[in-house]
Amino acid sequence: MAEKFDHLEEHLEKFVENIRQLGIIVSDFQPSSQAGLSQKLNFIVTGLQDIDKCRQQLHDITVPLEVFEYIDQGRNPQLYTKECLERALAKNEQVKGKIDTMKKFKSLLIQELSKVFPEDMAEYRSIRGEGHPPS
């Protein structure tokens, strides 16, 4: 799995470097640079071919669209991962608090109802007791 990303990363880095060198040649073009320019253009085509081959191996990879918004704003995409983890943890804590509160409420309610309706609560516990032990 990681090898696929390594291959793609390698090809992309080569492609970007090629483009950068092409830009340097073009920025101050000389007649003697024509051969180098032609070579770089062909390297662009082969680079795109290599990247296209990598695409087939990564067809099952999904990227959330929100990451693209971070990149378009010039922000580090790792911030998206960080915020996802923080949101997940916060929601986890919130739900855990709700579950714990409901459990406490249930035990208190059963306790108080048992004081007022002992027979009925005994019957309730016998009904629930088979698959659900009274808390």
Partner 1 sequence: MGLQFQGSYVAQADPQVLMELHLHLPSVKLQIGGSSGAETTMENFSALFGAHADPPPPPSALGFGPGKPPPPPPPPPGGGPGTAPPPTATSVPTDADKSSAGCGPFYLMRELPGSTELTGSTNLITHYNLEQAYNKFCGKKVKEKLSNFLPDLPGMIDLPGSHDNSSLRSLIEKPPILGGSFNPITGTMLSGFRLHTGPLPEQCRLMHIQPPKKKNKHKHKQSRTQDPVPPETPSDSDHKKKKKKKEEDPERKRKKKEKKKKKNRHSPDHPGMGSSQASSSSSLR
User: What type of residue sits at position 118?
Assistant: P
Interface residue with partner 1, options 107, 122, 123, 135 (CB under 8 A): 123
Is 113 an interacting residue with respect to partner 1 (CB under 8 A)?
no
Should residue 98 be labelled a site residue for partner 1 when binding is judged by CB under 8 A? yes
Instruction: Mark the segment that binds partner 1 (CB under 8 A) among 54-62, 105-113, 120-128.
Output: 120-128
Q: Does 89 bind partner 1 (CB under 8 A)?
A: yes
The HSE-up count of residue 99 (CA atoms within 13 Å, CB side) is 6
Residue 93's alpha-carbon distances to 85, 97, 99, 104, in angstroms, are 12, 6, 10, 16
- Mark 52-71 with x for binding to partner 1 (rule: CB under 8 A) and - for no binding: x------------x--xx-x
Judged by CB under 8 A, the residue of 5, 10, 78, 107 near partner 1 is 78
40: exposed, middle or buried (Cβ count in 10 Å: 0-12, 13-18, 19+) = buried
Residue 102, CA distances (Å) to 45, 97, 106, 128, 134 in order: 63, 9, 6, 17, 14
How many residues lie near partner 1 (CB under 8 A)? 56
67: CB partners within 8 A, 6+ apart: 77, 80
* Interface ranges with partner 1 (CB under 8 A): 13, 16, 20-21, 23-31, 34, 37-38, 41-42, 45-46, 48-49, 52, 65, 68-69, 71-79, 81-82, 85-86, 88-89, 91-92, 94-96, 98-100, 120, 123-124, 127-128, 131-132
